DNA sequence: ATCCTCCCCTAC
DNA sequence: TAAGGTAGGGGAGGAT
């Protein structure tokens, strides 16, 4: 970030009339203009109103981010009273960012190199009547204050709100609140996102792998071996490693990622937990939890929050993923906990995948922090030795993410995976090609992929715990207990044989939405309302991936007969019976109502008691790709909107290439604005109107065309199909950017030509606004295809600017860290 | 035989 | 307090 800032400064020609503060910063666009205007107003009103009490904050400017106490408004007044500056928008010369209550991701994303302090600094300075050392007020990223919660969730509305309605699925905000906090949801959806990402990269790939250039210096492999090389990469305790990037002081300590801060669970009873744990998940972890809880004073209950990820130092004390926080604290009382940071996980995941995709796209994405890569082609065409490439890529990942990863290599996916186990933590290991059968003998059966705790228990009952044991069992005998393919797989895997190919692309077979937490209904209408939400969510997800389904399945978890009504785990599902039932949909559909009708019918048939329900899911299957008749091409959009009577455009004229046109006045499209995120909307709407009004009266003085009246400046030829010259450019750009995950190159080119026309006709102010707007909406896009296209567009524009004005536009960088 | 539905299991 | 999701493989057993 600081790097690109540097570059920009260096590139800008050093002409005094365009110095940052007296000119060029305000050269283009309403964005800059409105910001300066606000600040000026601020300073002036402080002086003229006579409220200024001191010059305490002279030379100090603050920008308040998020909710603070005192409020932004109050801080503004304080700054005003004491000669400081309050920035409505964060600016490059802002002295401090004030924040007390923000997710650190957001803070760091927005101001990577800024000093962020707590609002108390302002208050205390006034109290002490001097500028205090701000270092004592630095925003503490480690002590994360919880976000202000909705009243309904804190129970703050009053004790009589009825317990069950406060934080159960009855609350209309439950679903989003739950999904925001569910680690399993995030792990799952992030994994899907990255699988799609690999698909996308493969589809769009040009055939060039830029990373291979870097391998030139590595040793050649002259052995000429034609073996298959499967690489398995896995980040080490992913969530913890990501969390430690900003918490260097916790490195080397036992650390765990969890919701809990180690508090006590006030409701559970020992007996109940025992019962539930016997029917639950990872047996080893369950046993450990159980042992711990049985030895606990029943009056002192434990945190049942699960540990999502723990450091190797924590593992050394016996702590495991999935373990209750209470249990973990018993094993290690000084266990450090850090909160989830799902945005950061996503960011690091992309860096991981981008690192690999520079070299090859023979990738099977497994999850957000794990993948298989077939190195065979890469090694053959570069001639690089496998171990050299692995060392190279591991250090590259480490440098790019600041997180360790481990790599296993083998002749097939099984051996690669087993090798990774040996490699961990932070290492690499090659499963030898000879003697595989012998080497497999010591592998624990639980380590075979596909052997979970149920299969393992079955095997253990027969006295089988290692692959060596299993190798002695003939296939037919094995298939008595594990019929068909199940037995066959075991038979092959325990011998180190695995012929399952890597799947580089993947087509989805189902889309589902389920919640098995916080389900506590008393009335049927509550169930109905929630089920509708689930169907809407399912429909949304179908549409996101452009699929429709022909069949829907309702999945229910119902409290088991003898299970207690209140679960040991807060709002958990306890011991349940599982029911699923499917129905046909009217043709391929993604319509939420159609899905709901089908699912509601099933629910009626099953006639479940809403009060007994502990979990609900909606799954759509038999999928088919949705037709996309609408083209998202920019030019098409432009033409479509042109013919629509709702858009106020001048009479359509024949597309005369030589027609002389003037850009129409800009207008802010309310429809467009409605669709924008609130922060962005506010930013745009606030002063746009004022600015344009003010501007009509007096054109910008700092423009290179200042000597000419605005109308003259616009007097050059602008072709009729120049999108930027249209009144509804904002709408066109918005729809274009929203219409797809990657722009068509012809559209980018078209826009580039349009921009160049503007530059040539000396219409820089409008162009600047439009580029600023484009940046804002592209920045919101979670697609590096858009980001890079935007950047190449800007690059072309800057070239033209240099040609004509010998100067560049001041363009803010995109915030995306994945693409650089 | 083959397909469909309803389960169970597994992985992250 | 706590945030127990999501997709796929595969078997049993019935319908075709």
Q: Name the closest residue (CA) to the C1' of nucleotide C6.
A: A188
Name the burial class of residue A133, with classes exposed (0-12), middle (13-18) and buried (19+) by CB atoms within 10 angstroms of its CB.
exposed
Q: How far is the CA of A577 from the C1' of B7 (A)?
A: 11
- Mean predicted confidence (pLDDT) in A469-497: 96
CA atoms within 13 A on the CB side of A373: 28
Residue nearest to nucleotide C7 (CA to C1'): A510
pLDDT at A352 over 50: yes
| Strands (E) located in A327-452 | 336-338, 363-367, 370-374, 405-410, 428-430
Q: Which residue has the tokens 């722009």?
A: A743
- Read off the pLDDT band of A753 (50, 70, 90): confident
Q: Is the CB of A367 under 7 A from strand B?
A: yes
Looking across all nucleic acid strands, the nucleotide with the smallest C1' to CA distance from residue A187 is: B12
Considering only residues A627 and A367, tell me which one the structure prediction assigns the higher pLDDT: A367
- Asked which of A143-152, A294-303, A390-399 is least confident by mean pLDDT, the reply is A143-152
- What is residue A642's predicted lDDT score, i.e. its pLDDT? 54
Q: Is the CB of A581 under 7 A from strand B?
A: yes
Specify which residue's alpha carbon is closest to the C1' of nucleotide B4.
A582
Q: How far is the CA of A598 from the C1' of B4 (A)?
A: 18
Is any atom of nucleic acid chain B found less than 7 Å from the CB of residue A757? Answer: no
pLDDT-derived band at A661, boundaries 50, 70, 90: very low
What does the pLDDT read at residue A153?
33
Strand C bases contacted by the protein (CB, 7 Å):
1-12
**pLDDT tens-digit profile of A264-297?**
444 444 555 555 554 455 667 777 776 666 665 5
Q: How far is CA A807 from the centre of its chain?
A: 36
- Report which residue is nearest nucleotide C8 when distances run from CA to C1': A509
Query: How many residues are given for chain A?
Result: 820
pLDDT reading at A298 higher than 80: no
A778 CA to C1 C1' distance (Å): 41
**Radius of gyration for chain A, computed over Cα atoms and rounded to the nearest angstrom:** 31
From the CA of A648 to the C1' of B4: give the distance in Å: 55
A61-75, A99-113, A624-638: segment of lowest average pLDDT: A99-113
Q: Return the nearest residue to B8, CA–C1'.
A: A454
Above 90 in pLDDT, residue A805?
A: no
Taking the stretch 439-458 of protein chain A, residues with Cβ within 7 Å of any atom in nucleic acid chain B are 448-456
What Å value separates CA A693 and C1' B2?
73
Structure tokens at A568: 């040991």
Using a 7 Å CB cutoff, list residues 408-437 of A near strand B: 417
Q: Cβ of residue A485 near strand B, that is under 7 Å?
A: no
Measured CA to C1', the nucleotide nearest A188 is C6
Question: Does the CB of A370 sit below 7 A from strand B?
Answer: yes
Mean pLDDT, all residues of chain A: 79
Confidence of residue A139 (pLDDT cuts 50, 70, 90): confident
Instruction: Characterize the bridge pairing of strands A428-430 and A405-410.
Output: parallel
- Cα(A660)–Cα(A717) distance, integer angstroms: 5
- Judge if the beta carbon of A366 is closer than 7 A to nucleic acid strand B: yes
DSSP three-state, residue A124: helix
Euclidean distance between CA atoms A489 and A367, whole angstroms: 23
**How many CB atoms lie under 10 A from the CB of residue A747?**
21
Identify nearest nucleotide to residue A195 by CA to C1′ distance. C7
With distances taken from each CA to the C1' atom of nucleotide C12, the closest residue turns out to be: A483
Q: What is the pLDDT of residue A643?
A: 45
Closest nucleotide to A573, Cα to C1' = C4
Three-state DSSP at A510 gives strand
Annotated active-site residue A370? The verdict is yes
Strand order in the sheet with A307-310: A307-310, A255-258, A336-338
Residue A23 main-chain phi, psi, to 5 deg: -160, -75
The separation, in Å, between residue A731 CA and nucleotide B6 C1' comes to: 49
C-alpha A454/C-alpha A229 separation (Å) is 32
Task: Tell me: pLDDT of A350 over 90.
Answer: yes
From the CA of A454 to the C1' of B9: give the distance in Å: 8
**What are the strands, taking DSSP E only, across A300-389?**
307-310, 336-338, 363-367, 370-374
Q: Is the previous residue joined to A425 through a cis bond, with omega within 30 degrees of 0? A: yes
Taking the C-alpha atoms of residue A227 and residue A375, their distance in angstroms, rounded to an integer, is 10
Confidence of residue A29 (pLDDT cuts 50, 70, 90): very low
pLDDT of A474 > 90? The answer is yes
* Nearest protein residue to nucleotide B11, judged by CA and C1' positions: A450
Q: Which nucleotide is nearest to A264 (CA to C1')?
A: C1
Of the candidates A355, A68, A147, the one whose C-alpha atom is nearest the C-alpha of residue A233 is A355
pLDDT in tens, A400-422: 999 999 999 999 999 999 999 99
pLDDT at A690 over 50: no
Task: Tell me: pLDDT of A102 over 90.
Answer: no
**Which nucleotide is the nearest neighbour of A581, by CA and C1'?**
B6
CA–C1' gap, A806 and C11, in angstroms: 73
Tell me the nt nearest to A571, Cα to C1': C2
For A701-705, what is the mean pLDDT?
34
Q: How many Å does it take to go from CA A369 to C1' B12?
A: 9
The confidence score (pLDDT) of residue A28 equals 27
Burial environment of residue A796 by CB neighbours within 10 A (0 to 12, 13 to 18, 19 or more): middle
Spatial separation of the C-alpha atoms in residues A268 and A568, rounded to whole Å: 5
Give yes or no for a contact between A178 and A515, defined as CB atoms under 8 angstroms apart: yes
| Percent of chain A's residues with pLDDT above 90 | 48
The one catalytic residue among A288, A370, A757, A800: A370
CB of A631 nearer than 7 A to strand B = no
Among A47-51, A269-273, A341-345, A506-510, where is mean pLDDT lowest? A269-273
**How far: A477 CA to C3 C1' (Å)?**
45
* Strand B nucleotides with an atom less than 7 Å from a protein beta carbon: 5-12
With pLDDT > 70 as the criterion, what percentage of chain A qualifies? 73
**pLDDT at position A229:** 96
Burial of A549 per CB tally in 10 Å (0-12, 13-18, 19+): buried
Q: How far is the CA of A192 from the C1' of C7 (A)?
A: 9
> In sequence order, what are the residues at sequence separation of 6 or more whose Cβ sits closer than 8 angstroms to the Cβ of residue A291?
none
Neighbours of A770 (CB within 10 A): 23
Q: How far: A15 CA to B12 C1' (Å)?
A: 57
Please say if the pLDDT value at position A645 is more than 50: no
Nucleotide closest to residue A619 (CA–C1'): C6
For residue A62, name the pLDDT band (cuts at 50, 70, 90): confident
CB of A553 lies under 7 Å from some atom of strand B: yes
Residue numbers 182-201 of A with CB closer than 7 A to any atom of strand B: 184, 187-188, 191
Closest nucleotide (C1' vs CA) to A555 is B6
- The torsion region of residue A158 among left (phi > 0), alpha (psi -120 to 50) and beta comes to left
- State the Cα–Cα distance between residues A371 and A201, nearest whole angstrom: 15
Model confidence at A212, in pLDDT bands (50, 70, 90)?
very high
Phi and psi, residue A543, nearest 5°: -65, -35
Q: How many Å apart are CA A107 and CA A306, to the nearest integer?
A: 27
């Amino acid at each position: 970030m600081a790097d690109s800032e540097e570059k920009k400064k260096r590139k800008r020609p050093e002409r005094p009339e365009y110095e940052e503060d007296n000119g060029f910063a305000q050269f283009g666009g309403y964005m800059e203009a409105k910001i300066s205007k606000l600040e000026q107003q601020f300073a002036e009103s402080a002086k003229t109103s006579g409220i200024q009490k001191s010059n305490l904050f002279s030379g100090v400017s603050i920008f308040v981010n998020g909710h603070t106490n005192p409020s932004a408004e109050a801080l503004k007044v304080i700054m005003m009273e004491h000669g400081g500056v309050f920035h409505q928008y964060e600016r490059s010369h802002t002295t401090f960012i004030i924040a007390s209550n923000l997710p650190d991701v957001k803070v760091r994303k927005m101001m990577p190199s800024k000093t962020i302090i707590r609002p108390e600094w302002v208050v205390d300075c006034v109290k002490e009547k001097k500028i205090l050392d701000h270092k004592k007020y630095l925003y503490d990223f480690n002590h994360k204050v919880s976000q202000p919660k909705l009243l309904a969730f804190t129970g703050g509305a009053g004790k009589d709100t009825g317990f069950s309605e406060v934080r159960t699925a009855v609350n209309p905000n439950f679903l989003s609140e739950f999904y925001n906090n569910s680690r399993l949801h995030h792990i799952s959806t992030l994994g899907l996102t990255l699988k799609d990402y690999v698909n996308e990269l493969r589809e769009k790939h040009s055939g060039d792998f830029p990373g291979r250039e870097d391998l030139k210096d590595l040793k050649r492999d002259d052995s000429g071996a034609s073996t298959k090389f499967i690489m398995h990469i896995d980040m080490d305790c992913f969530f913890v490693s990501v969390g430690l990037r900003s918490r260097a002081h916790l490195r080397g300590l036992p650390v765990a990622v969890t919701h809990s801060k180690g508090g006590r669970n006030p409701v559970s009873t020992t007996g109940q937990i025992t019962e539930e744990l016997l029917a639950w998940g990872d047996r080893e972890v369950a046993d450990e939890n159980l042992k711990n809880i049985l030895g606990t004073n029943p009056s002192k209950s434990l945190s049942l929050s699960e540990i999502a990820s723990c450091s190797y130092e924590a593992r050394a004390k016996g702590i495991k993923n999935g373990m209750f926080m209470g249990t973990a604290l018993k094993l290690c009382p000084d266990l450090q906990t850090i909160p989830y940071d799902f945005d950061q996980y996503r960011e690091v995941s992309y860096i991981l995948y981008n690192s690999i995709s520079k070299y090859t796209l023979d990738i099977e994405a497994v999850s957000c922090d794990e993948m298989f890569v077939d190195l065979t082609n890469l090694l053959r065409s570069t001639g690089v030795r496998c171990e050299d490439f692995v060392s190279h890529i591991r250090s590259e990942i480490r440098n790019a993410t600041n997180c360790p990863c481990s790599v296993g290599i083998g002749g097939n996916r099984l051996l690669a995976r087993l090798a990774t186990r040996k490699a961990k933590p932070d290492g690499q290991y090659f499963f030898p090609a000879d003697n595989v059968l012998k080497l497999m003998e010591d592998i624990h059966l639980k380590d075979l992929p596909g052997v979970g705790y149920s299969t393992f228990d079955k095997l253990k009952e027969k006295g089988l715990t290692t692959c060596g044991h299993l190798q002695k069992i003939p296939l037919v005998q094995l298939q008595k207990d594990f019929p068909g393919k199940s037995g066959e797989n075991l038979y092959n895997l325990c011998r180190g044989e695995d012929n399952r190919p890597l799947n580089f692309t993947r087509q989805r077979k189902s889309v589902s939405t389920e919640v098995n937490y916080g389900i506590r209904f008393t009335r049927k209408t509550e169930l109905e309302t929630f089920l509708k939400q689930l169907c809407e969510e399912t429909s949304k997800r179908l549409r996101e991936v452009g699929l429709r389904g022909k069949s829907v399945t309702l999945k229910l978890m119902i409290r088991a007969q003898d299970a207690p009504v209140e679960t040991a785990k807060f709002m958990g599902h306890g011991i349940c019976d599982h029911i699923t039932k499917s129905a046909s949909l009217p043709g391929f559909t993604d319509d939420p109502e159609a899905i709901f009708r089908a699912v509601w019918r099933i629910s009626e048939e099953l006639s479940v008691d809403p009060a007994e329900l502990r979990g609900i899911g909606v799954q759509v299957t038999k999928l088919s790709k949705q037709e996309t008749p609408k083209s998202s091409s920019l030019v098409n959009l432009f033409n479509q909107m042109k013919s629509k009577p709702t858009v106020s455009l001048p009479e359509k004229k024949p597309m005369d290439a030589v027609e002389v046109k003037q850009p129409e006045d800009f207008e802010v499209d309310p429809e467009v604005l409605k669709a924008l995120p609130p922060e962005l909307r506010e930013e745009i709407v606030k002063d746009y109107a004022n600015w344009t009004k003010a501007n009509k009266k007096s054109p910008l003085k700092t423009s290179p065309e200042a000597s000419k009246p605005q109308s003259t400046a616009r007097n050059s030829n602008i072709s009729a199909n120049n999108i930027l010259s249209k009144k509804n450019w904002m709408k066109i750009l918005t729809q274009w950017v929203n219409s797809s995950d990657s722009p068509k190159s012809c559209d980018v080119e078209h826009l580039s030509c349009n921009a160049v026309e503007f530059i040539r006709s000396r219409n820089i102010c409008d162009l600047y606004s439009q580029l600023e707007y484009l940046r804002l909406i592209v920045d919101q896009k979670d697609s590096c295809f858009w980001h890079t296209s935007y950047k190449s567009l800007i690059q072309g524009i800057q070239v033209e600017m240099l040609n004509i004005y010998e100067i560049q536009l001041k363009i803010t960088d995109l915030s995306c860290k994945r693409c650089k």
